[in-house]
Amino acid sequence: MNGRTTKRRNHYIPQLLLRRFGRPGRKTTRVWQFRAGSQPVNVATENAAVSTWFHGDPETGVEDAFMAVEGEQGALLQALDGGAPLQEHVPALQEFVWLMGCRTRSLRQRFVEAAEVALSVFEEADDATLLGALERKWQQEADQLIDERLSQVDPRLVAELTARLPQFREHLTALCFALLPSALGGVEKLIAQARRAFPGAAKDGHVRALGLLLAARVPGPMREFTEWTIEHDPSNSLVLGDGVAICQCASGEVGGVSFVGRDGAAVYTPISSSQLLVGRKVTQHPPKLSMDEVNTHSAKTALDTLFATEDSVYNRELLSHVGSEASLVPKDELRDLALLAMQPPSES
């Protein structure tokens, strides 16, 4: 086993955070789970935000790494509860929020959805547009492909082959363009195969990225957020979305943690029903979000689930917002990018 854990059930939101939104019982802490399309349920935190082998098999080491990091994160939250000055913990706060947002099932699913948007553009394209895009792709990569093959040829033959290259390239391009129309019939099959493969590919890529992130212990673009405060909600009404953190851009737009790398200016992370951890950039100060706005955006950027201390009418009403702002990048932008990739370059 190489000393690695054999835990099959991995939390994509750690229990150390879920417990802060729950109530201790006789044997376990329980939290209210609000999921789109279902009735609210009061669940033990060990059964909330958990999935089998979410961090991959034991050989990835990701689950073990998270268990070690969570010990540090728990100590950090205890220090903050005890009144520790936030500015003495800036690097730890940056890493805490970045890891919390990056580890979620919500973020993983966003990659699948982004790929689906791009696929739908190719699926809807007419044959002429698709054929033109494939021809341009060939023109862009033909020389690179030929150079790679020449590098594998006996050096004594390279000079002779290079002299014949223009004619060879012309014939190869003509052959390629002649075959492309018949290849269009297989595009639908390729799209279907890609659609089936995306969830597994997203998981593998996410697990690898988490492994690198945990090894480097670098907070990515969160390092620019250097002003930290804890805002208190006297009504204890804060909820935890399954995306954990929300980011407010300088433009006023609000999204998930992926927006941090855009023009993110402030990041909001509920750490209990009464405490909101807020990080800001020194150079940008968009209007501060109210507690109600934070809850609403936590719901809008969630994949499908909210967690809260109470089953209330207010929390049930938040369910109507779940998923409405949940894209990795706004879907209209993704579609525009995919369409742009298929269009011929504009002439200057």
* Residue 9, beta-bridge partner list: 52
* Residue 275, beta-bridge partner list: 232
CA–CA distance, 241 with 307 (Å, rounded to integer): 6
**Residue of 273, 331, 300 whose CA lies nearest to 36:** 300
Tokens at residue 118, please? 């791009």
Reported as a single tens digit per residue, the pLDDT across 89-135 is 999 999 999 999 999 999 998 888 888 877 777 666 666 666 666 66
DSSP category for residue 347:
P
CA–CA distance, 87 with 41 (Å, rounded to integer): 38
User: Please, how many CA atoms are within 13 Å of residue 72, restricted to the half-sphere of its CB?
Assistant: 13
Sort strands 240-241 and 246-249 into parallel, antiparallel or unpaired: unpaired
Q: What is the longest distance spanned by two Cα atoms in the chain?
A: 83
**Residue of 59, 78, 70 whose CA lies nearest to 103:** 70
DSSP category for residue 58:
G
Burial of 155: CB neighbours in 10 Å, binned 0-12, 13-18, 19+: exposed
Burial 111-137 (b: 16+ CB within 10 A, else e): bbbbbebbbbbbeebeeebbbbbbeee
CB of 32 within 8 A of CB of 73?
Answer: no
Reported as a single tens digit per residue, the pLDDT across 141-189 is 777 777 777 777 777 777 777 777 777 667 666 766 666 566 556 667 7
- Predicted local confidence at residue 42, as pLDDT: 97
- Predicted local confidence at residue 342, as pLDDT: 47
- pTM of the predicted model as reported, rounded to 2 decimal places: 0.78
- Predicted local confidence at residue 114, as pLDDT: 80
List the end-to-end C-alpha distance of the chain, in Å, as a whole number. 61
Q: Which residues of the chain have pLDDT under 70?
A: 1-6, 122-140, 168-169, 171-173, 175-187, 326-348
